[in-house]
Structure 1
């Protein structure tokens, strides 16, 4: 298993989407950039907000695509091509309906699970699904008919606090991830519940 060299946070661009559940992945990368005291800056060649940070002794590329969620793969592929990164060197943070707010999970590989950002990323990477995922729980509205409005809606105050607490815990596990200690990172993160 390769070392993680880039962390990409999926979301939709624009102020109307910044605080929506679908941007939970972007919130992770934004929090990591703040924690690293390195601002994300618009980078046209990567179609997004980019920074290179030194975190827990590792150089890490951070990216929040400025494309809409269903076109995230273009930005991911551009970053990979420029830095010659392989999919298994990526950690992609995204919102996850099947996990409750206040929890998060790491996952290696797998399908897109209906997530349009992951679907486009898999396609843009030549159907290579070997990238790592950081699944940020946002909960499910209970009905498939409500999913679009739900993910594009803003969480309530308590729900957002729980999501933020899970993101904080994610940041505490990243040193293990970057050191290749996936078991340690998973044990800690998967037992956390805000």
Structure 2
């Protein structure tokens, strides 16, 4: 199956109580991708919800996944999915919230540190390597002295919610670009300043 198959994991916490939190923006992006390819999330043999489909007819296959476990224990489900689909780490794209990037901004990187993000830390530990592609969706820093952990477990403000569909679309576009054009070309397009 590895031929042209990609595992795209949207990080977040399970259950409706967390669905609209900043921490779940990764899952919102894979929902957007599932809608684009006409796929529906279903229970899977691994501890995850999975939706499968093709980017375009005859094109790359996408395995979109949302873990059934909490953010901080994302590693086990991601590792299980890679094994189930016999995919190497180079075919993994993780979509996650990023405090160190302004809201409404998307950045791409491969490897490197976890920047205090416990979901990324757990995936790197379970995979025995940090060398996977990350689509970093900016949620901005908390205002004032608010604890970042509290900030990411809140919903977006009304102003942010108005822009959120565009942000999710931009992040989904970034995932598609990584798959079709490669990371370097995708970074050049995604990181280019807006005209």
TM-score by length of 2: 0.90
Distance, in Å, in 2 between the alignment partners of 1:187 and 1:157 is 31
Q: Which residue of 1 aligns with 2:49?
A: 49
Greater displacement, 155-164 / 45-54: 155-164
Distance, in Å, in 2 between the alignment partners of 1:21 and 1:102 is 12
Contact between 1:106 and 1:135, CA under 8 Å: does it hold in 2?
yes
Distance, in Å, in 2 between the alignment partners of 1:155 and 1:79 is 30
Q: 1:132 to 1:166 in 2, by over 3 A?
A: same
Distance, in Å, in 1 between the alignment partners of 2:191 and 2:5 is 19
TM-fit CA distance, 1:143? 5.8
Q: 1:19 to 1:175 in 2, by over 3 A?
A: closer
Q: Which residue of 2 aligns with 1:184?
A: 185
Q: Which residue of 2 aligns with 1:102?
A: 104
User: What RMSD over aligned residues (CA atoms) do the two structures have, in Å?
Assistant: 2.0
Structure 2 gap segments, 5+ residues each: none
Contact between 1:107 and 1:133, CA under 8 Å: does it hold in 2?
yes
Structure 1 gap segments, 5+ residues each: none
Q: Which residue of 2 aligns with 1:72?
A: 74
Residue 23 (structure 2) pairs with residue 22 (structure 1): yes
Contact between 1:101 and 1:162, CA under 8 Å: does it hold in 2?
no
Residue 38 (structure 2) pairs with residue 37 (structure 1): yes
Map 1:143-158 onto structure 2 (within 5 A): 146-158=147-159
Q: Number of paired residues?
A: 190
Distance, in Å, in 1 between the alignment partners of 2:144 and 2:42 is 38
Report the secondary structure of 2:147's partner residue: helix
Q: 1:141 to 1:3 in 2, by over 3 A?
A: farther
Report the secondary structure of 2:168's partner residue: helix
Distance, in Å, in 2 between the alignment partners of 1:25 and 1:161 is 18
Distance, in Å, in 2 between the alignment partners of 1:93 and 1:80 is 16
Distance, in Å, in 1 between the alignment partners of 2:50 and 2:94 is 14
Distance, in Å, in 1 between the alignment partners of 2:115 and 2:145 is 13
TM-fit CA distance, 1:182? 2.5
TM-score by length of 1: 0.90
TM-fit CA distance, 1:96? 0.1
Contact between 1:122 and 1:129, CA under 8 Å: does it hold in 2?
yes
